Structure 1
Amino acid sequence: MLDRIELESFLILAEELHFGRTAERLHVTVGRVSQTIKQLERRVGAPLFERTSRVVRLTDVGRQLYDDLRPAYDQVQAGLARAVASGRGIRGVLRVGYSSPWCGDLMVRAADAFRARHPDCAVRISEVQLSDPLGALRAGELDLQLTELPIDEPDITNGPVIYTEPRAVMVGSGHPLAHRASVSLEDLAEATLVALSGPVPAYWLEYHIPRHTPSGRPIAHSAPVDFWQELMSQVAVGGMASTVAARAAHYYARPGIVYVPCDDAPPLEYGLLWRTAAENNRLRAFIQVVRELATPPQA
């Protein structure tokens, strides 16, 4: 039975054919490598390398031993790597969700990068329903999601904020606010905001679809809708309005809809969320990838 230092010394020297480089890779002295190889040759009963002042070559016996040992060593290393990944939880299936297309774009890029690092872990991506932002997460159908904040729930962990976006008001091209250079939150008293149905936290609704302006003027709400396309139809043909991220103008540009900057509205933040009880190494590894991709490179 070979011990680890004998095995690795032989395999690395067979690749490098240089005692100095072999010692560097093993972080030992050249003398230690030479002594280990001589010891192995005594056990085999034949020289494994031809050594001259200029070159180091494998003998026929050495070549045969290398061809026999290398595949087995690679298999052991691969098995160990899989065991480490399994022990860290970085295998299986990770299910991630997103609420906005720019969040979806990031999730797709993160999934590609994550799979390259952890090929034993698959990533499934799906859109979070507008009217039920936490339902899939709480049901265990999602492990992680990137969605609009604020979220303040005892069973949900708020991770890092990934995007901070200025706000706009989305209105139809014939709406009284459509031709302004910008609007304020007070101007929402002149609009009817599209309401959402479903189990949406009240504080979340107040932040995104307020019922009063900062001065206390009432803001009208429409009949509630479930899906984004319904919301856009209400805006385009129903004369309603909606507060959105300004970036939506790029993703949802269409005839009949105008995006007007809202100068005094607090920005929209998009953060990572997960069930506190379900946090694991697989989840943390994916979050790290998302943060790396969302961080702009330093100039």
Structure 2
Amino acid sequence: MERHEIEAVLAVAEELHFRRATERLGLAQGRVSQTVKALERRLGVVLFERTSRRVALTPAGRRLYEGLAPAYRQIQEVTAQAVTIGKGITGTLRVGFSSQWASDMVLKTAKLFRRAYPDCAVELEEVQLRDTFGPLRSGELDLQLTEFPVDEPDLVAGPVIFSEPRALLVPEQHPFARCGSVCMEDLARTPLIVISGDSPQYWRDSIYPRTTPQGRPITHAASAVYWAEVLSMVASGLGVSPVALRAARYHARPGIAFVPLSDAPPLEYGLIWRCDGDTARVRAFVQTLCRTTSDRPR
């Protein structure tokens, strides 16, 4: 099989959509479909079942994908290692994260990165929300996976890696705790606990709004410096606080409840780095992280 045939099969198997596979590979419209059809004719087997509504792997296609994917990744890793030696991707890369779920993704990526670039160490550090960009700007970090939006002249806002539904962290005895969900207008009915600090106002407003969509004021009654304080203050009945819904899996404890915010936009998490810090190490880690979120069959 030629390289372009392998890449076409892998892209379609992982996207289960010919147009998305074509866009992913940066090819002209219809090119991936033509490549797969030609390969199927040459092999004498059907690799994908196609209808007007869906694309699915046949048993033969599944077996081919399962054999090709790890071999192709190994070729990519060996090639990357050779490029690393040539380009000098060595030293230490310092990566920050702002939440436990972001930490999980960074840790997974760091493991793959070390395998591909054995001469480059990776150090990880949690970033406190009270100073979202401080460690990056000071040079303490080279790269960061954090909540968006980010609109800073000295920072590059890279790709959005994943998004999370929002929820409201409330005291266990709060009336909201008995609801299946709440809406943004409900924030006007209860005091909000926020993280204080030096983060830009636009960023803080995206996490802790000051008005509801209909313009009703939202009371910011108390502030905390660290996330652990927010948990304790909410459990004590001092207020509620917006969070990612996934926080319930990491921070559940007596005295609090997590209630979905039904009409809130999702929290987006993306990569950021300094404009003057666009190094080969940073680019390699960004590519590795993006690959970990895209090379699984959907």
TM-score normalised by L of structure 2: 0.71
The aligned residue for residue 212 of structure 1 is: 211
Partners of 1:111 and 1:272 lie apart in 2 by 14
The aligned residue for residue 154 of structure 1 is: 153
* Structure-2 change in CA distance of 1:158 and 1:89 (3 Å): farther
C-alpha deviation, 1:207, in angstroms: 1.0
* Correspondence 1:61-140 to 2 at 5 A: 85=84, 87-140=86-139
* Structure 2 contact 81–116 (Cα < 8 Å) conserved: no
Q: How many residues align?
A: 219
- Partner of 1:194, secondary structure, is strand
Sequence identity of aligned pairs in percent?
Answer: 53
* Structure 1 contact 171–178 (Cα < 8 Å) conserved: yes
The aligned residue for residue 48 of structure 1 is: none
C-alpha deviation, 1:175, in angstroms: 1.3
The aligned residue for residue 281 of structure 1 is: 280
* Structure-2 change in CA distance of 1:244 and 1:82 (3 Å): closer
Query: Within the alignment, does 1:181 sit opposite 2:184 as a pair?
Result: no
- Partner of 2:270, secondary structure, is strand
Partners of 1:282 and 1:218 lie apart in 2 by 45
The aligned residue for residue 256 of structure 1 is: 255
Q: Deviations over 1:222-276 (max 9, x none)?
A: 2321100011111111331111111111111111111111111111000000001
The aligned residue for residue 46 of structure 2 is: none
- Partner of 2:178, secondary structure, is coil
Partners of 1:233 and 1:132 lie apart in 2 by 20
Q: Which amino acid aligns with 1:266?
A: P
Partners of 1:161 and 1:83 lie apart in 2 by 29
Partners of 2:284 and 2:110 lie apart in 1 by 11
Question: What stretches of structure 2 of length at least 5 have no aligned partner?
Answer: 1-79
- Partner of 1:169, secondary structure, is strand
Q: Which amino acid aligns with 2:178?
A: H
TM-score normalised by L of structure 1: 0.70
The aligned residue for residue 227 of structure 2 is: 228
RMSD: 1.6
Q: Which amino acid aligns with 2:117?
A: H
- Partner of 1:186, secondary structure, is helix
Partners of 2:187 and 2:81 lie apart in 1 by 56
* Structure-2 change in CA distance of 1:90 and 1:189 (3 Å): same
* Structure 1 contact 132–199 (Cα < 8 Å) conserved: yes
